Amino acid sequence: MAATSHAMLPPRQIHLLRRNSGASGHWISGIDCLSWRFGVETNTIQGWRLVPKNCKDYVGHYMLGKQYREDCDVVAKAALEYAKSLKLAGDGKDVWVLDIDETALSNLPYYARSDVAFGQDSETGTTSLVYKSNKRKELVKTGYRILGNMGDQWSDLLGSNIGNRTFKLPDPMYYIS
């Protein structure tokens, strides 16, 4: 049987993307909320203090809706497949680092009724990135091997001793540097 030539295949159609508007809440008063969320999740937009006022409803619907759950499921399934592929040493020193808030536990009810300010860690006066890096460094120093690392903030996943593989969950609610 002869191999199929690319010339024999029908050309692929290009479909133009259209912005959503109105009730869907993606494009409001000059802010594309979907693109803003993407920029936050990819760490392209940094140092923001509050969700843009015009995107408050969009972020609320995202966090309480189907898309947030589906986005989290994609990350969780990738992490599970990776975990299944690991060959553990069997000495109890292979570990997985999990962030707590918005990774293992949801604070959505709290955020629904509060304006919360985030910034420096109140115990140490350092940034969260430095604090978390130091804690991971302590683990590695005592002989643990970080095979996986999962969190909703880039400060959970950047810095030193991040592990063999990281998994970023979505969280457009706040940003911790």
d(CA 48, CA 74): 26
**Predicted local distance difference test score (pLDDT) of residue 125:** 72
For each successive 10 residues of the chain (177 residues), what is the average pLDDT? 48 42 46 88 85 86 90 96 97 93 68 50 74 95 97 92 96 74
93 phi-psi bin (left φ>0, alpha ψ -120 to 50, beta other): alpha
**Predicted local distance difference test score (pLDDT) of residue 127:** 86
**Predicted local distance difference test score (pLDDT) of residue 47:** 81
Domains assigned to the chain = 23-168 (3.40.50.1000)
Residues 107-150 pLDDT 10s: 666 666 555 444 444 756 788 899 999 999 999 999 999 999 99
What's the token pair of residue 172? Answer: 């457009």
- Which string of b and e fits 16-49 if b means at least 16 CB within 10 Å? eeeeeeeeebbbbeeebbbebbeebbeeeeeeee
d(CA 61, CA 25): 9
Question: DSSP letter string over 10-50?
Answer: PPPP--------GGG-SEETTEEHHHHHHHHHTT-S-S--S
**Predicted local distance difference test score (pLDDT) of residue 19:** 39
